[in-house]
Structure 1
Amino acid sequence: MATSRWIRPEVYPLFAAMSVAVGICGFQLIRNLTTNPEVRVNKEGRAAGVLENYEEGKKYAEHSLRKFVRNKSPEIMPSLNRFFSDPQRN
């Protein structure tokens, strides 16, 4: 009886949004645990203390998505924005 109450077509968008949010959180958690130079999970890494590894930190911060969007304009629909904001083109 509980499944007919919670699993209805009206709830599917909520499930989709929550799944995407949990997926993003999980991805960020795994990314930080595996590649972040400041996170040390094993005992030997924690015993090392503060490391001066600037190159590894720079490599972590400059990931592929950041490199991809670096020279792009921060607009979702650039052609539509130019159409409405540039009076010379109309």
Structure 2
Amino acid sequence: MGRWLKPDVYPLIGAMTFVTGMCVFQLTRNAFMNPDVRVSKAHRRSAVLDNADEGQRYTQHAFRRFLSTQRPEVFPALNRFFAGSPPSDDK
């Protein structure tokens, strides 16, 4: 195994593991929580589902609600520093 797994490949393995985990998470979330996916026979029987509440819960999940309260800034402290008032020249 040591011949095949070199230390140069560790960052690539880490990145691929992270991306694969994200894909599995999203696919699992869509399969079990998406209101348009019909897994049970009771839901598959009806052509149109009256599931507006379920769709609202799916689209407005906790992470999106959290992000809606945050300001769209990458570095808020740095932005406040550079957007501050310029020093006054009156002495």
Query: Which residue in 2 is equivalent to 1:46?
Result: 44
Q: How does 1:46-85 map to 2 (within 5 A)?
A: 46-84=44-82
Q: Which structure carries more helix by proportion?
A: 1
Query: Which residue in 1 is equivalent to 2:3?
Result: 4
Q: How does 1:3-42 map to 2 (within 5 A)?
A: 4-5=3-4, 7-42=5-40
- The answer to whether the 8 A contact 2:34-2:55 is kept is yes
Length-normalised TM-score, structure 1: 0.81
CA distance in 1, matches of 2:78, 2:51: 44
CA distance in 1, matches of 2:7, 2:16: 15
| Letter of the structure 1 residue corresponding to residue 22 of structure 2 | I
CA distance in 2, matches of 1:65, 1:89: 37
CA distance in 1, matches of 2:3, 2:73: 42
Which is further off, 37-46 or 11-20?
37-46
| Letter of the structure 2 residue corresponding to residue 40 of structure 1 | R
CA distance in 2, matches of 1:82, 1:13: 35
The verdict on how the C-alpha distance between 1:56 and 1:10 changes in structure 2, with shifts beyond 3 A counting, is: same
| Letter of the structure 2 residue corresponding to residue 12 of structure 1 | Y
Q: Which runs of 5+ in 2 are unaligned?
A: none
CA distance in 2, matches of 1:55, 1:83: 43
| Letter of the structure 1 residue corresponding to residue 18 of structure 2 | V
CA distance in 2, matches of 1:36, 1:4: 44
Length-normalised TM-score, structure 2: 0.80
Identical-pair percentage: 45
- Give aligned pairs, total: 87
| Letter of the structure 2 residue corresponding to residue 24 of structure 1 | M
